[in-house]
Amino acid sequence: MSTVTRRLLKELQDIRRELGEEIVSLEPIDEDDILQWRAVLHGPKDTAYENGLFELHIDIPEQYPIRPPTLTFVTPVCHPNVHFETGEICLDILKTQWSPAWTLKSTCLAIHVLLANPEPSSPLNCDAANLLRCGDTIGYNSLVALYTQMYSM
């Protein structure tokens, strides 16, 4: 059994023991392919994402945990740090700030936090970022709520 397989099986065991309310599910898509996972996150409470369910695809490299997994939203998400069409996520821990100390669960929790705390200075969705940079939080929250209602409920 490879190192990555052992690590992922350990993570899966920990995940099954306790998920928490932010993450609905986090598991391999197919038991025969431990490197492809699916996660579903609840929209953060008290945000325009609340009541939404957001699916993520997780592609784990053979060099995990040395190299980070690639996480992309399957559910369309209106967020400054998420590319609306591809689901790509701009988050430093998925690139330069990755550490083997991160797990799939902690990475999903970081994405959950990112939903509630957008960073408009490094946008993948310029329209959403511009609303925040201009101080139009009402417009931003209305747009997010509209897309959340259209795609994640």
- Run of H or E residues at 31: none
Active site residue: 78, 90, 108, 134, which one? Answer: 90
Phi and psi at 117, nearest 5°, equal: -130, 70
Q: Exposed/middle/buried for 47, CB within 10 Å: 0-12, 13-18, 19+?
A: middle
**Residue written as token pair 């992309």:** 72
Distance from the Cα of residue 25 to its chain's centroid: 12
90 in active site: yes
Catalytic sites, residue numbers: 90
